[in-house]
Every structure is written in C-alpha cells, then in structure tokens.
Structure 1
C-alpha cells in the first residue's frame, strides 16, 4: 500500500466540521456525539408550524385533533396540546395506550376497532378515565363492539365513518350511514357520538376538479351529520363531525365553518403531517392551499432534516 499523499493526511487530521456538512455551528456536537444517521427537528420551524395550524383552526371555529401516528412522539403530542389541540388522533389501540400512558387523556381512534384483544385495550383505557372515540362502518362490527363493551358495563363512543365508493373503509352513502345509526342505537354498550370522514381518498369524476370533489364530499359529511342530529340519533351532549388530513384542510375547514350545524356540534380537524411538514408531497399540497387562499400568508415550514 502506498503512503498517503500530503493532501489525504491533511483530510484525515482535520475531521468534518459543522460547516462541511451544512450544519450551523451549534450543530457541531451532532457530528461528534451522535451515531449517524440522525433525524433532527429544528425548533424554530416546529414552533411556527404548531402555532400556524392551531391558529388556522381557531380562525375557522374548529377544534384540532392532530394525527399522532405521524410522529408517535409523546413530547410532540404535549407540544400540540399545549398549543391548543383538543385531542390526539391515533391509528391503533396500542398507539392509544402509548399516548394515554404519557398523559394524553382525550383520544380519537381513526380506525375500526376489531378483535377482542384490541377491544380489551380500549376498555382498559376507558376504565382508567380516558375519553376515547372509535369508528364504525359495518353492522357486524357494531354488534361485536356492542356485545363486548356491554359485558364490561361500559359505553363506547363511536363515530360512523362516511367513506367513498371504492375506498378502503366507511359507509358508501347516506342510506348506509342512517341504517347503521339504527343498529348502534340498539346496542347498550355503544353511544353514537358523531360522524367521521377522510377526504384524502376522494377522486374526481371526469370534468370535475379534485378541489370541487373534495369540497362536495366535505359538504355531504356535514349534511349527513345534520340529518343524524335532526333524527335524534346522536346520543351525546356534544356530537362530533370530523375530517381533514394535511392536504385539503382549507376546504374541509370552510365546509365546517359555513355549515348550518347546531352550535353544540364540535367540528374537529385531524391533520398530522403539518408538525414536521416537508419539501415534497406536503410542500406541494401546501402551495396549492396558499394558491387558493393567499390571505393565509406564509404557510408551513419544513422542520425535519436527516444527517447521514
């Protein structure tokens, strides 16, 4: 092996400094003390994003229940709650248990609760004092949940999911929603607390823009919730209507804001990716939001960076 050149000797003797990696000087310890790769959250854009989305929801008269599966970081859950979030949304029963263990007491499980093991987790959380909502979209699931929670002398708050044709879950039309509400009412272990939707799966028909299709879906969710309320199917003091991921929150918020719903209805938004944001998919969707709503001014800022 040949001797190293003077240039290579100089490089080996001069380990990477912060400026070599594009890091600010305050990040130099990252290269020295942390095993790379490392994902870094930058405080300034993180704080901006927390305040931006909470302010957006406040301005539209909606509550924020950000989706926690995006980060599964309890410290960030508490930052969101401290900024004004009403609840934290999760995707699975174990995720709900993890959040509750770290002090999050109001939970929205944006999924169907299936299987006795998962039902037992949710029952234990309710018995421990959690306020927890789950989704339903089928008669068989409603009856299984009703039987299980009645056996535990509990009443589980459920939200009927309004899906889309060909979507992954949810009642396909208004008729299915209303019929399922009747089945829920027959279950002493359940209480119908509202209606849920997710506009991210909405596809536009030929000649219709995606924006128009999403807005129409959000308006229909509101209309069905009103029908449930007028029919006396909502058995809670403060029923919920909830939708919104991170891409179409302006359209959903406006549908919720402009709806002629009873004032006791809580309108709940569930975006999750706004916390860290990004330069790609959500950067593009945010640009479209700001294009539709220039009065919003500056949007979200990318807060996550990976060093390797």
Structure 2
C-alpha cells in the first residue's frame, strides 16, 4: 500500500501535484499549436530532466537556457535544439558549445547578440560551421538588446559580413513591459526588424510568460517562425503568475502545481505563529508563500522560520502553502516528490542547478 507522503516524510517538504503539472504542459503546448507558434520552454525555471522530457514529448520545438552551464545540462536531458537566450561571452562555455556542435552535426544551437563586441567574441570561438545568432532588440530601461531598430539593423549588417557567425533571426523580451499597449508597440518593432532581414525562414523569438495572448494575436501574420520561451507556466503558482497569466484574459487556465508543507513550531503570542520553513525551502523574491488555510497571512520569512499571523494555531499543526515565483522554487530542492490527489507519491523530479 502506498502511504500518504505527508505522514511518512520529514517536514518541511515541497511537493508537486501531478495532475497540475501534466495539465500545464499540455495546455501551453496546445496554446502554441493553436496560434501557429513554436514553444521552446525556458528550462532555467526547472532544470529538471523529467519535466524537459514531458515538454519535448508534448511537441516543444527545443529548450531555452540562460547560460552555457545550463546548456550543458539540458544537452544531457536530450535536447537537440537549444536557444541560449542571452549574450554569451564566457570562453570556457563557448569552447564547450563549439566542441558539441562539431561532435554532433544534428545539434542546433542559437544565441543572442546585441553588439559588435559580442559578435567578435563569438567569432573568436566559432566552430567550423559557425554560430547561429539572433540579433536582440531591447527597449529603453530593459536589460540587454539594441535600443532601436536602426541600431539592430546596423548590427545585422555587421553579422552578415562576419565570418564564423550566421544570422538566424531576431530576439526580444517583453516580460519587463507593464501594459499591453507597450507590448504591442515593442512587438511591432520586432516585426519591422524581421521584415528587413535577408534571411530565409527567419526566427523571431520572444519571452512569452506574461503576454503570450498579445503575442499570439499581434504576430500572427509575421513572416517568421515565432518561438515562445515561456518557462514559469510549467508549475504556475499561487502568487506572481496567478495574477499575471494571460489566461486571466483569454480562455484556458494554468494550475498551481507546488505546495510546501510545514509544522507550526511555536505560538509565542496570540495571533502569532512560527512555522518551520524558511528561505532555504520556499521562494520569497516575488512574493511570500500563500497559506492554503483561510484567515492566515505570511508576514515574514527568515532562514529557517516563517512568521504567520492568524488565530487557532497550535504547535504541531501542519500547514500547506502555495508559492510565488516558480523560478526560485525549483532551485531550493534537488529532489521533489510528485503526488496524486491523495498525496501518494507517484514519481520524483530531480533538479540540476
């Protein structure tokens, strides 16, 4: 008989709800397919071979990473097409990528560039078949990326004349923008940039966690392969992404897959409880954990403790919490039990951060 994992495990414990995980993978794959988009999920969210396999089996075009170390890991997960959605200037990482491209002729790798200096670094480490490059367009106040279409087209001209690199298309990231109007204006610039390219079957890749509904509408006619790099959807959450998911605006839903369970350790004052989980166990950078029991509020997290306001708690009580921000939840745990609706363990996820 399979035991309820919550009664057989030491707490705190973060679990993954199997039904929600499977639902989210299928839902996002269907959205991309129905809107003529490709999906290259951002593996930096989970860094899990088990989830990567689910995403690839659901039809993912490839996997996205942010660093060469992550690229090395997802190659081990079985990815044959990788987007490194970042500038890469690390010589050690570039040497490994170049060697992997030489070793496996079927391996496809793309990375971003937003400057001539960055392109020159790629050229200096390029394998015989070169690096495929996506010219990145940013926006004022954003992180990386050329700050105008004219600047990007100047970089495109430089890439086209350079040996060791091949232009594959254009990249952008809209996730830092705060309104649909801002996103539409930015997407229009990306589409304008693509129209100037002298590239057969260009790629246009965008972020796609908070605004994929706008992307699905506004880029429907662009003459390019549009690739979403959505990541947080796979587990969703009860906080940051619950409030921001495009499924609040269009048909469909994502379901929170994470729960963390912990004991009440102390009730030192009326209405104040100390719970035995902390910053090493649950994310806190984009919102504190969300109690599943009504009437409770998390007000502070420390290394090993969480301060909860609410009545009716006693030492030894077991509480469940949802999380906010999946990207800093997965990295807290090297193994995560996957549970069914009765909290029986039906699988295990491993993470490789």
Range class of TM-score, shorter chain: 0.7 to 0.9
Query: Cα deviations across residues 99-118 of structure 1 (Å, max 9, x unaligned)?
Result: 10221111000000112112
Counterpart secondary structure, 1:226? helix
Quote how far apart the aligned CAs of 1:71 are: 0.4
| Aligned match of 1:181 | 156
Higher gyration radius (CA): 1
Alignment partner of 1:292 is 2:249: yes
Corresponding residue to 1:138 among 97, 115, 118 = 115
| Aligned match of 2:260 | 306
| Aligned match of 2:195 | 226
Counterpart secondary structure, 2:190? helix
Q: Which has the higher strand share?
A: 2
| Aligned match of 1:215 | 184
Quote how far apart the aligned CAs of 1:27 are: 6.0
Contact 1:253 1:269 in 2 (8 A): no
Q: Whole-Å Cα distance in 2 between the matches of residues 281 and 198 of structure 1?
A: 18
| Aligned match of 2:238 | 279
What TM-score does the superposition give when structure 1 sets the normalisation length? Answer: 0.80
Alignment partner of 1:250 is 2:213: yes
What TM-score does the superposition give when structure 2 sets the normalisation length? Answer: 0.70
Dislocated runs of 4+, deviation >3 Å: none
Q: Whole-Å Cα distance in 1 between the matches of residues 206 and 190 of structure 2?
A: 9
Corresponding residue to 1:107 among 78, 82, 96 = 82
Query: Cα deviations across residues 49-97 of structure 1 (Å, max 9, x unaligned)?
Result: 1111111111110000010000000110110010111100001001001
| Aligned match of 1:13 | none
Q: Which has the higher helix share?
A: 1
Counterpart secondary structure, 1:200? coil
Q: Whole-Å Cα distance in 2 between the matches of residues 114 and 180 of structure 1?
A: 17
Counterpart secondary structure, 1:68? coil
Aligned CA distance change for structure 1 residues 246 and 73 (closer, same or farther; 3 Å):
same
Aligned CA distance change for structure 1 residues 128 and 102 (closer, same or farther; 3 Å):
farther
Counterpart secondary structure, 1:135? strand
Q: Whole-Å Cα distance in 2 between the matches of residues 27 and 89 of structure 1?
A: 37
Contact 2:63 2:82 in 1 (8 A): yes
Quote how far apart the aligned CAs of 1:245 are: 3.1
Select between 122-131 and 247-256 the one with higher mean Cα deviation: 122-131
Quote how far apart the aligned CAs of 1:26 are: 6.4
Quote how far apart the aligned CAs of 1:211 are: 1.1
Contact 2:247 2:254 in 1 (8 A): no
Counterpart secondary structure, 2:124? helix
Task: Give unpaired runs (5+ residues) of structure 2.
Answer: 263-353
Contact 1:174 1:224 in 2 (8 A): yes
Quote how far apart the aligned CAs of 1:162 are: 0.4
Counterpart secondary structure, 2:168? strand
Q: Whole-Å Cα distance in 1 between the matches of residues 257 and 98 of structure 2?
A: 36
Quote how far apart the aligned CAs of 1:177 are: 0.7
Quote how far apart the aligned CAs of 1:122 are: 1.4
Contact 2:52 2:77 in 1 (8 A): no
Q: Whole-Å Cα distance in 2 between the matches of residues 181 and 73 of structure 1?
A: 35
| Aligned match of 1:29 | 5
Q: Whole-Å Cα distance in 2 between the matches of residues 160 and 239 of structure 1?
A: 11
**Equivalent runs, 1:72-87 vs 2, <5 Å:** 72-87=47-62
Contact 2:20 2:255 in 1 (8 A): yes
Q: Whole-Å Cα distance in 1 between the matches of residues 162 and 13 of structure 2?
A: 49
RMSD (Å), alpha carbons: 1.7
